[in-house]
Structure 1
């Protein structure tokens, strides 16, 4: 049994090839993950919280993300690693419950994002055929896409890579073209008026805007494979965030120029398709739906690959347990199954709004834990400025508090589920690590 596990870990380690990702490739990877299904699903939800000035939410979200990215950049420059977020947490806190729990929160937030993508696929598919967005067919189509993404992933890394590159170019170019064409057709005057949720609502909306940028962590998780990683990981993160800001603003202004706020909110799960018809006509509507389907499918394929790989790495780092459950194959084959099963369950039982909310809670809490750990234990080692780290913590805390307050007012159940979900994660990790302590040698490897 030990020989089998050792071989699986060796095979996993050999899968990470140094200098296999160029700077342009890393930027494309980051933007490909960020620019995709999130913008299709989140634009309407952000408008619902932020009110008439919802495009500004993306700007504020980018500012918060930039402060947050500083920590990841400094750590990746100093310790480029395939361990990514897990490596940062382990170096900051050691092999502890805090490190393992926060790493698992990150992985779960990525799985939650997959269910968001899957339901978005179902919603836009039904919208194309005039179906009811609240139909039971939405989760059915979503689970179908998850199964398809699983089959693509088990076909091998080469299939994932080629398909991801082609679809990334198509969806990024298409979304940017949608924004530019929508603005050209509708003009630059925003139609969104009324329905202002106030300052708290606007700040709360930033939590969802941050979700649209959090894909930059994919670059962090590939640090060991990027060429000249001590310089290029940081550059790739900055460039991908900057590029996404431009595209998101184009889309937000295009939607705001085409529809009044009440229609954006009413169609919040398919706002881009709703905005395309008055601005670009029936042809524009169907092209936007097609673009959404491409973006969701490609995004899900890439995300499942990334999450299963991250879970496999956390297993190798002995931060989470692993069981074969009688399945053949390697650890990564098994984590691929776990990923799609959890994503499928969330797709069936949660709507888009609750999925996005749960992801925002998990990600922001994990982000705060990372910043605090680096501030307390590593900032001098990596040459990080303390005031930037503290600013990142403060901004995350303000956004998280406003988001929790709004959700407690309108949907207290999701706040309760998020709290108990996070408590269960840390309790689970505490029990696991108490029974399976990690040696210092394992701690120093990443």
Structure 2
């Protein structure tokens, strides 16, 4: 009999997927966009994540299959070009996330260790090698990946909670820092919303719960609890972390340390020791996120290929694992070395917002079967769609390369599927 997982395990999977590399990678970016309104930006993104979690919970309970999002899309759209394009976009969005986490690992690693004496070269070495190390671990033992995740989740949560407690204590020492959080330091509502959408990638990890629902004990009672428990906890955690960060450092210091701002925010209260502890936490967190994402994206790629939406080549086994693991890692290394953090984050957020809009719409269309509230599904669909448009329009003026990359990935996902399906029909 297949081993089942508890509600606590399912919530841990969701929290581990969200509190991975995302918060370490995009916090500085969020502050640069939203300034003192950064906690609001995280709240906006969190509300969309919570509404989307409702759709995922209802769909997971009705269709508890290990394919998760891929299987939800098939339930509504079959296996045509549209379904294949969406599933390809999901896989490529995972690749983008892998690049985002690796970028964060490289930035934090270069702050702690110097290899060549040139920071930019060190960052590239760290961000490329960590993907290769994670790939090797995935080929070596999937069980080891799970063990690393279990330990990493506990370590990073304990340290981040301690960071919040120490940060609030720091406000009593430096009360003048709280002034940066006042509304006069907030950016315009459109920038607050845009900031929330650029950092939406920090929430996307709850999607991993869908892949474990088939093994969850007492699905009827625990599915919604797993999703809302994980997402709700992380929304509160992110808002508190952003409050501490904005209240710890002047905006110009946050801007100059954008790629490793969480470690920098620990310095005013704990000095170099705080910087080092948070940096090590970032390395542990991003490494565990990279590990889990190589596994998750490799499996998604394999499922899509088995469902005949990618060439059968991707379902081939290489050294005991799907070759998609290797392809995913190679593409992520290329991406992280070709684009900057903001471009990668924009592309990742855009991809997941579009995928989540589709999943919410599937929930809306199937609300009778799901016995769910169609208006919540519809609201989530509209908000994900508006968030996607807001992100693209606002970022186009500031980060044109990121927007072009994001739209290029979306178009490529559907063109790839169209060409593949056209090739199949000729055989």
Q: When the two structures are superposed, what TM-score results if normalisation uses the length of structure 1? A: 0.89
* Deviations, residues 362-399 of structure 1 (Å, cap 9, x unaligned): 111111122223323x2221122221111112211222
Counterparts in 2 of 1:311 and 1:325: CA distance versus 1, 3 Å: closer
Counterpart residue number, 1:4: none
Gaps of 5+ in 2: none
Residue among 333, 339, 342 paired with 1:350 = 339
Asked if 1:34 is matched to 2:18, the reply is yes
Counterpart residue number, 1:303: 293
Contact 1:191 1:259 (8 Å CA) reproduced = no
* Deviations, residues 185-220 of structure 1 (Å, cap 9, x unaligned): 234752436765411111111113421111110001
Counterpart residue number, 1:171: 156
Structure 1 residue 129 displacement after superposition: 4.4
Distance 1:107 1:401 in 2: 21
Tell me whether 244-253 or 149-158 shows the greater mean CA deviation.
Answer: 244-253
Counterpart residue number, 1:87: 71
Distance 2:165 2:415 in 1: 48
Distance 1:166 1:410 in 2: 39
* Deviations, residues 325-370 of structure 1 (Å, cap 9, x unaligned): 997445x431111111111111111111111011011111111122
Distance 1:385 1:364 in 2: 21
Counterparts in 2 of 1:299 and 1:133: CA distance versus 1, 3 Å: farther
Distance 2:145 2:127 in 1: 19
Contact 1:186 1:279 (8 Å CA) reproduced = no
* Deviations, residues 62-100 of structure 1 (Å, cap 9, x unaligned): 111111111111101111110100000000111121111
Distance 2:216 2:414 in 1: 32
Counterpart residue number, 2:85: 101
Residue among 42, 45, 52 paired with 2:29 = 45
Counterparts in 2 of 1:118 and 1:316: CA distance versus 1, 3 Å: same
Structure 1 residue 235 displacement after superposition: 1.4
Tell me whether 186-195 or 105-114 shows the greater mean CA deviation.
Answer: 186-195
Distance 2:106 2:335 in 1: 14
Gaps of 5+ in 1: 1-16, 438-446
Counterpart residue number, 2:329: 340
Counterpart residue number, 2:60: 76
Matches within 5 A, 1:115-194: 115-129=99-113, 135-187=120-172, 190-192=178-180
Counterpart residue number, 1:368: 357
Asked if 1:275 is matched to 2:280, the reply is no
Counterparts in 2 of 1:338 and 1:361: CA distance versus 1, 3 Å: same
* Deviations, residues 158-186 of structure 1 (Å, cap 9, x unaligned): 21111211111111211121122122123
Asked if 1:262 is matched to 2:246, the reply is no
Residue among 47, 53, 59 paired with 1:63 = 47
Residue among 382, 404, 424 paired with 2:412 = 424
Counterpart residue number, 1:11: none
Distance 2:256 2:393 in 1: 22
* Deviations, residues 15-72 of structure 1 (Å, cap 9, x unaligned): xx74532111111111111112211111111111112111121122111111111111
Structure 1 residue 250 displacement after superposition: 2.3
SS state at 2:134 partner: helix
Asked if 1:403 is matched to 2:391, the reply is yes
Counterparts in 2 of 1:326 and 1:85: CA distance versus 1, 3 Å: closer
Counterpart residue number, 1:380: 368
Distance 1:433 1:305 in 2: 27
Distance 1:233 1:320 in 2: 30
SS state at 1:52 partner: coil
Matches within 5 A, 1:192-207: 192=180, 196-207=186-197
Distance 1:28 1:147 in 2: 25
Contact 2:306 2:315 (8 Å CA) reproduced = no
Contact 1:149 1:297 (8 Å CA) reproduced = yes
* Deviations, residues 408-428 of structure 1 (Å, cap 9, x unaligned): 111222222222221111011
Tell me whether 130-139 or 77-86 shows the greater mean CA deviation.
Answer: 130-139
Counterparts in 2 of 1:416 and 1:155: CA distance versus 1, 3 Å: same
Distance 1:336 1:28 in 2: 23
Tell me whether 164-173 or 184-193 shows the greater mean CA deviation.
Answer: 184-193
Counterparts in 2 of 1:134 and 1:99: CA distance versus 1, 3 Å: farther
SS state at 2:4 partner: coil
Over aligned residue pairs, what C-alpha RMSD do you find?
A: 2.2
SS state at 2:120 partner: coil
SS state at 2:178 partner: coil
Q: When the two structures are superposed, what TM-score results if normalisation uses the length of structure 2? A: 0.92
Contact 1:364 1:396 (8 Å CA) reproduced = yes
